[in-house]
Amino acid sequence: MKQFSEISDIRKEIKALKSTGQSIAFVPTMGALHEGHLSLIRTAREHADEVVVSIYVNPEQFGPNEDFEDYPRQMEDDLKACEEEGVALVFTPNDEIMYGSGEKYFAINIEELNEHMDGASRPGFFEGIVLVVNKLFNIIEPDIAVFGQKDIQQFLILSQMVKEFNHDIELIAAPIARANDGLALSSRNAYLSDQERKIAPGLYRALQYVEKQIRGGVMEPKLLLNHQQDELEAKGFKNDYLNVFSMETMQPVQELEEGKQYILAGAVYLGKTRLIDNIILDL
Ligand code: AMP
C-alpha cells in the first residue's frame, strides 16, 4: 500500500494503475475508520481491481459551531486498517493541498435537495461535501465510488452532482453497518459517554417501530412520528428531525403511496453528539 499527500504524486500512481488496465474504486472518508468504512472498502474491492481511499477531515463541511477541532483523528490506525483491507493507495492531503491559500471565486449552490433533513440543520454542510468530493473525483478519477447509506442525503445529492457535472463515475451505496445493539456505526460515537452509549440505539428502535407501523398499513405517519419523538425526548434524546422523505426530492411526505420509495430518517442529539440514522422504505 502506498500513501500520498500531494495531488501530483497520487495522480502519477493512478495513471500508472490505469495504464495497466486496472479499474479503480474510490472510498472517500474523514478517517477514524470503523467497521462501516471497512465495509465500504470491501464493497469497493468487489467492484474494481484496486481500491483508493482518501482520509481528509474537510473543514468546508463543518459549521462554525460544529466539531471540526474535536473530530477524531487517528491516522496511524487508519493506515494500518487500510493496509489490512488490501487498499492500493491512500490519499491524505492537508488543507493547503486541497484549498491552497483559501482564495475562492466560485461557490457551490444546491437547490431543494438540501432544504430538509441534515441540510436544514447544518447550513453549508452539503455545499462543503459537494465541493470536496468534486475535487477528489477530479484528482482520483475513479471508475466507481462507494458511499454509505447511513448518509443517504449525501448519497442522493452526490448522485445528482455526478449526473449534472458529467463525472464518468458509478456511485454505489453500501448498507449501514451497525453495532450488535443496532446503533449505526459512526466516528462520532466516540464522543458518547457510557450512559449515552447505552441509550443511543433508541434512535434505530424508534425508526424500526415506525417502519413496522407503516408496513402494517399506516400511510399517514405524522402522529406516529410525533409520538416517537416524544418517547425519544423522554429517554434523554434531543430531537432534530424524525420524518419520512421522498427518495427523489428529499422533501417530507405526509401521505405515503404504495409502489414508491421513501427514506424514513431521524437525527437526534445525545449531549453534544449528533446521531443520524435511516431506513429505506420500498412500499
Ligand atoms: P465519514 O468518514 O463519516 O465522512 O464517512 C465516510 C463514508 O463512510 C461515507 O460514505 C459514509 O456514509 C460511510 N459510513 C459512515 N458510517 C457508516 C456506517 N455505519 N455504515 C456504512 N457506511 C458508513
Q: Catalogue all structural domains in the chain, each as residue range(s) with its CATH number.
A: 2-174 (3.40.50.620), 192-278 (3.30.1300.10)
167 assigned to active site: no
Task: Give SS3 for 267.
Answer: strand
Q: Are 39 and 175 in contact (CB under 8 A)?
A: yes
Cα 190 to chain centroid, rounded: 17
- pLDDT band for position 235 (cuts 50, 70, 90): very high
Is 189 a pocket residue for ligand 1 (Cβ < 6 Å)?
no
35 Cα: distance to centroid of ligand 1 (angstroms): 9
- pLDDT band for position 149 (cuts 50, 70, 90): very high
| Pocket perturbation via mutation, ligand 1, pick of 26, 29, 62 by most ligand atoms within 8 A of CB | 29
pLDDT at 102: 80
pLDDT at 10: 98
Nearest to 54 by CA among 140, 161, 172: 140
- Whether 104 has a pLDDT exceeding 90, the answer reads no
Is 136 a pocket residue for ligand 1 (Cβ < 6 Å)?
no
**Mean per-residue pLDDT, 10-24:** 97
266 Cα: distance to centroid of ligand 1 (angstroms): 16
Nearest to 61 by CA among 132, 6, 118, 111: 132
221 Cα: distance to centroid of ligand 1 (angstroms): 28
pLDDT at 40: 98
Mean residue pLDDT across the chain: 97
Distance CA 202, CA 181 (A): 10
Q: Percentage of the chain with pLDDT > 70?
A: 100
pLDDT at 142: 98
- Atom of ligand 1 minimally distant from the CA of 37: 8
pLDDT at 187: 92
- Atom of ligand 1 minimally distant from the CA of 40: 22
Distance CA 122, CA 191 (A): 19
Sign of the CA dihedral running 142, 73, 102, 7: negative
Instruction: Name the pTM for this structure.
Output: 0.96
Say which of 34, 37, 167, 227 is annotated catalytic.
37
pLDDT at 132: 98
Express each pLDDT in 48-79 by its tens digit.
999 999 999 999 999 998 999 999 999 999 99
pLDDT at 258: 95
